[in-house]
Amino acid sequence: MSSLLKDQGADSPRLHHIPRKSPFGALLSRTLPEYRGPYDVGVCDIEVPVPRQTFGNFTHKSLPGSAHVGLVIDTVLFSLFYPCEKPAKPTPTAWFPSMRQTIDGFLKMAKRTPNFMYRVLAYPVAAAAVSGMTFPANKEAPLLAPPSPTTKWPVMIFSHGAGCSRLMYSAFCGEMASRGYVVVAIEHRDGTSPSSKITAADGTSTLVDWLEWSDLEWPEMRAQPLDDQALRQVQIQLRCAEVREVLGVLGRMGRGEDVLRTSLHAPEFDWTRWVHVDPSQPVMVGHSLGGSVGLATSSQNMPFRAVVVFDPATQRLDPWRANIPHPLLVVNSEEFAVGREYAIFAEQIAGTAERARGPAVFTIPGATHPSFSDVFLILPEYINKMTGLRVQAERVLELAVDATTDFL
């Protein structure tokens, strides 16, 4: 391979150079792996105000008498990964942009109220692991024109799992963008992220931290929930609404409208270029709770070309037997495939997926449920093995991407 690369002429086809895997993950290089597709990748954040919507009817025990009931969305926030013009100088993007905010959120997820002692212990560890970590997408680079005047870039929407955020799947989203997709990674403001900041139209901001089900009271229920199932179902409702609102924003972008005029955060693009993007039939993708959202939005007849789910948390949809009308790909980890979750999934899909096509279902041997995210690409391989991962994290990503690409 090295001699072949050396002998390439200026007109030779581009060959991808696969870097040697480091046993230390990305800790030493401080950047996630390069993408394997033929296109350079750009990335940007966009936050757009939407009509206020509320979901659920619960109050916080820590806020007695509070007027805030249930979950609320006033804006939608997403990161765009897309084929971009090759920059003169690559500008990688920070993978962990709000360390203090996110660490505090993770501590709350672990049921540890952030205080001085926990911060003293957590911040140095987190800083050593991810401070300065980047992923190889060029921040706010111009959208690349499609290879043919008669073609447009297809769209993919990604829904993250509980405990994650939009950038924690940057490897998958960037890989699909490098293959010619405009990938829309939504930041769900439903209390399933460690922490997410919402900026209102007047410029004020609020934080939505991890929401613990045991901190809630449901006044309309005779008996209070004994687990997080009621909360998760409300969160799925909110996520589905966010997907629908994002579809509306993408439609405006596809018409070349300047979303900067209504966005709270958006780059100063030449928005007329975005007429080369076709958002009319996006592919819906999600992991874990995001996989549940993929199935739920499909059943709501959103205009998808296909649905792809990784380890879908189908028990979060019970009781649920709505029809799934779109072509469906399911990629499971071995951990999911041998667990109770798969039995629930198989029963649901048997009665909901279209019989004529049926779902395509694959399992990645040795993979664990969290290994679809970026985290295991960063950690050293020996730590990954301690968590139960018996295959290289890069291999999990490669198989997930290739299965998705082949299916589509």
Q: What is the pLDDT of residues 367-389, one digit of tens each?
A: 999 899 988 888 788 878 888 89
* Whole-number percent of the chain with pLDDT over 70: 80
Tokens 């008996």 identify what position?
Answer: 223
Domains and CATH numbers, the chain: 41-283+296-308 (3.40.50.1820)
For residue 43, give the H/E element and its range: strand 41-55
Work out the pLDDT band at 130, boundaries 50, 70, 90.
low
> Residues 188-214, buried b or exposed e (16+ Cβ, 10 A)?
bbbbbbbbbebbeeeeeeeebbbbebe
Burial (CB < 10 A; 0-12, 13-18, 19+), residue 3, is exposed
Q: Which tokens is 2 given? A: 């090295």
Q: Given this model, what pLDDT does residue 104 score?
A: 54
Cis check: omega of the bond before 124, within 30 degrees of 0 = no
- Residue 73's Cβ-side half-sphere holds a number of Cα atoms within 13 Å equal to 29
DSSP state at residue 367: -
pTM over 0.75: yes
166 versus 322: the higher-pLDDT residue is 166
Task: Tell how far CA 21 is from the center of its chain.
Answer: 24
DSSP state at residue 360: E
Beta bridge partners of 55: 71
Residue 362 main-chain phi, psi, to 5 deg: -130, 155
Question: What average pLDDT score do residues 71-97 get?
Answer: 89
Q: Given this model, what pLDDT does residue 354 score?
A: 60
Q: Which residues contact 11 (CB under 8 A, 6 or more apart)?
A: none
The number of beta carbons lying within 10 Å of the beta carbon of residue 115 is 10
SS3 call for 42: strand
Q: Given this model, what pLDDT does residue 10 score?
A: 40
Work out the pLDDT band at 288, boundaries 50, 70, 90.
very high
Residues in the chain: 408
237 pLDDT more than 70: yes
Q: Given this model, what pLDDT does residue 169 score?
A: 95
What's the mean pLDDT when you consider all of the chain? Answer: 82
Give the separation between CA 81 and CA 92, rounded to whole angstroms.
13
Q: Given this model, what pLDDT does residue 23 score?
A: 46
Q: Given this model, what pLDDT does residue 31 score?
A: 79
**Of the ranges 13-22, 66-75, 222-231, 315-324, which is most confident?**
222-231
Work out the pLDDT band at 16, boundaries 50, 70, 90.
very low
147 pLDDT more than 70: yes
Work out the pLDDT band at 24, boundaries 50, 70, 90.
very low
Residue 309 near residue 330 (C-beta atoms within 8 A): yes
